[in-house]
């Protein structure tokens, strides 16, 4: 079974790449972030033609998440229980579903914007809510994973130059502590480092030749519980999908399971 996560940075813009990628990669379940559309505009019909069902939590031009599966899609829950909301609004940042033998969450953690900004506090509160919401599944006997764009680099090795991020979000102590607390529910990072290259980044800014210069970050993560981690046979970042015209600024992260 092949499961992947991909921040597509607009499902509409990325559809000409997404559909052939699903076919060529043999992905069974894809967790999508940053759809930047509402549920009605999500390309469910085009995906259905390829054999995929869709569970979508999206309300407009910002944020939005989905799970698409060709191995079943059951027990869909949209949203994050205990979501703190931002400025009184619960944003579409989480959706979960059972796909065959595996339970997955697709999450798009708030960016945080700047240290000290209200959005930064919201990010940390959102992490707390996520930790509480996943605890039971994380400790359970069924393979379970939380996949998505976490907007946090777990270690200094997960950014191209730590010194350039001093005082910025994505690398601060409180954000990394929030990741560590999430792992304490029984989750582990199932994508090994290093992979086939020294720095398996997943995101490269469009500006200043970020990708050609490999000025990237590893912020798209797959956190699985013990049964999920035990079933992993391979994992990789599909860097090729970040190349060329019309690419997202994130690359897919792919995990193979023997379940």
CA–CA gap between residue 78 and residue 72 (Å, rounded)? 17
Tell me the pairing of strands 102-108 and 144-149.
parallel
Give 61's pLDDT tier (boundaries 50, 70, 90): confident
Superfamily of domain 2-257: Endonuclease/exonuclease/phosphatase (3.60.10.10)
pLDDT digits (tens, 9 = 90+) for 4-54: 999 999 999 999 999 999 999 999 999 999 999 999 999 999 999 999 999
Give 124's pLDDT tier (boundaries 50, 70, 90): very high
Give 192's pLDDT tier (boundaries 50, 70, 90): confident
Q: What's the pLDDT at 73?
A: 98
Q: What is the mean pLDDT of the chain?
A: 96
Give 107's pLDDT tier (boundaries 50, 70, 90): very high
Q: Indicate the pTM of the whole model.
A: 0.97
Residue 169 DSSP symbol:
T
């Amino acid at each position: 079974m092949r499961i992947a996560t991909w921040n597509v940075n607009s499902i509409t813009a990325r559809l000409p790449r997404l559909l052939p990628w699903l076919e060529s990669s043999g992905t069974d379940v894809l967790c999508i972030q940053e759809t930047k559309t509402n549920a009605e505009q999500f390309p469910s019909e085009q995906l259905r033609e390829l054999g995929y069902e869709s569970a979508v939590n999206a309300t407009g031009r910002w944020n939005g998440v989905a799970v698409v599966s060709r191995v079943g899609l059951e027990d869909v829950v949209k949203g994050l229980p205990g979501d703190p909301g931002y400025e009184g609004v619960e944003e579409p940042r989480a959706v979960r579903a059972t796909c065959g033998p595996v339970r997955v969450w697709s999450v798009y953690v708030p960016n945080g914007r700047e240290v000290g900004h209200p959005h930064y506090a919201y990010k940390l509160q959102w992490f707390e809510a996520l930790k509480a919401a996943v605890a039971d599944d994380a400790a359970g006997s069924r393979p379970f994973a939380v996949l998505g764009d976490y907007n946090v680099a777990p270690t200094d090795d997960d950014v191209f130059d730590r010194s350039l991020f001093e005082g910025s979000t994505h690398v601060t102590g409180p954000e990394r502590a929030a990741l560590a607390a999430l792992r304490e529910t029984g989750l582990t990072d199932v994508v090994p480092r290093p992979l086939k290259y020294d720095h398996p980044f997943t995101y490269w800014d469009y500006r200043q030749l970020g990708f050609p210069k490999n000025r990237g970050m590893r912020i798209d993560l797959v956190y699985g519980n013990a049964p999920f981690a035990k079933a992993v046979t391979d994992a990789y970042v599909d860097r090729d999908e970040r190349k060329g015209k019309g690419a997202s600024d994130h690359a897919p992260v792919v995990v193979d399971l023997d379940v």
